[in-house]
Structure 1
Amino acid sequence: MSKELPAPVPRLTVITLGVADIRASIAFYDALGFSRRLKATGEAVAFYDTGGPVLALYPWDLLAADARLPDNPRPSTFRGVTLAWNCASREEVDAVLAFALGKGAKLLKAAHESDYGGYSGYFADPDGHPWEVVVAPGIEVGEDRRVHLAE
């Protein structure tokens, strides 16, 4: 008689971005101030502590091959995914956007009041991955840099 295993606990642990030039992407994310870990991987893959899920950078073609997906054509339009940098205040949103642009990010949308009572703007990393920089009602950024959601 087989014993049924308990359902696994869902969790998001790593977000991996496919990048065209890993050296340039490492320089960009280093410049943003994310803390790189497992540096022994060199330029094969880069891992960053984000205060939540790990951010990984991996060459686009190798990531596609690993997932058994076609490498081409690479999308030049919206991919249906954004990353977010939640902030504690509107002033922090403005500061983060200015900081990212100063490190080579491209502005996608200037910070603005949102229809849900928040404040946000968007930048793109060197490979066009969009990041929302946002302060939103019900989402608090704690002293631990982690996001805390209201019940």
Structure 2
Amino acid sequence: MDQRISFVTLAVADLAATRRFYLDGLGWTAELDVPGEVLMIRTGERLVLSLWARAEFEKEVGAIGTGTGVPPITLAHNVPTMAEVDAVLRTARAAGADPVRDAVERDWGGYTGYFADPDGYRWEVAYNPGPIGQLVLP
């Protein structure tokens, strides 16, 4: 098996709100858009963010566990400078994101902050000057 992830699939409560946030708010482009069912956005050379309406997700995958707190997953968007971290956080907040955490300098030498999409999925926006951070930049 190749060492790779091809899709990150998330179930969303309101696909129309999700579409407005990602396409209209963040300015991303859909690769596949089936109203009421799924929105797929290419987020890397060989990576797709697949956002499914909960009912459609459950038909394919099974019942979603529910509870309180933050969903147990984060997504990350790395950028090459600290200034770009702040710019992306401003864009997300203008699109209606929950700000979650302002960017701060981290003990490991990076600079990161967080926002949440309409379903509460946390996005880390990060400047990582180390080798692993450089690995993921275009």
Give TM-score scaled by structure 1 length.
0.81
| Residue aligning to 1:135 | 127
C-alpha distance in 2 between matches for 1:135 and 1:50: 17
Q: Is the 8 A contact 1:13 1:54 kept in 2?
A: yes
Unaligned stretches of 5+ in structure 2? none
Q: Is the 8 A contact 1:65 1:71 kept in 2?
A: no
Instruction: State the distance in 2 between where 1:62 and 1:108 align.
Output: 28
SS of equivalent residue, structure 1 residue 50: strand
Name which structure has the greater RCO, CA cutoff 8 Å, separation 6+.
2
Are residues 1:21 and 2:14 paired?
yes
> For 2:111 and 2:56, how far apart are their aligned partners in 1?
36
User: Deviation digits for residues 9-34 of structure 1, max 9, x if unmatched?
Assistant: 13200111110000110110102122
1:11 aligns with 2:4: yes
Q: Residues of 2 paired with 1:32 and 1:17: CA distance?
A: 17
Q: Identity of aligned pairs, percent?
A: 36
Alpha-carbon distance in structure 2 between the residues aligned to 1:147 and 1:75: 35
Residue 115 of structure 1 aligns to which amino acid in structure 2? Answer: D
Task: Point out the more displaced range, 122-131 or 77-86.
Answer: 77-86
Please give the alpha-carbon distance, in whole angstroms, between the structure 2 residues aligned to 1:129 and 1:75: 14
Query: Matched residue pairs, number?
Result: 134
Task: Provide the alpha-carbon RMSD of the alignment.
Answer: 1.8
- 2 CA distance for matches of 1:71 and 1:84? 23
- 1:71 to partner: Cα distance: 3.2
Query: Once the 2 structures are TM-superposed, how far is the Cα of residue 55 of structure 1 from its aligned partner?
Result: 0.6
> Are 1:99 and 2:91 matched, yes or no?
yes
Which residue does 1:59 correspond to in 2?
53
Give the Cα–Cα distance (whole angstroms) in 2 for the partners of residues 86 and 56 of structure 1.
Answer: 19
Residue 86 (structure 1) aligned with residue 78 (structure 2): yes
Residue 112 of structure 2 is aligned with which of 106, 109, 120? 120
TM-score by length of structure 2 reads: 0.88
Give SS of 1:93's match. helix
Residue 16 of structure 2 contacts residue 35 of structure 2 at CA under 8 Å; is this kept in 1?
no
1:60 Cα deviation after fit: 1.9
Task: Give runs of ≥4 in structure 1 deviating > 3 Å.
Answer: none
**Farther-moved stretch of structure 1 (76-85 vs 22-31):** 76-85
Larger helix share, 1 or 2: 2
Could you say which structure has the larger radius of gyration? 1
CA contact (8 A) 1:16 1:57 kept: yes
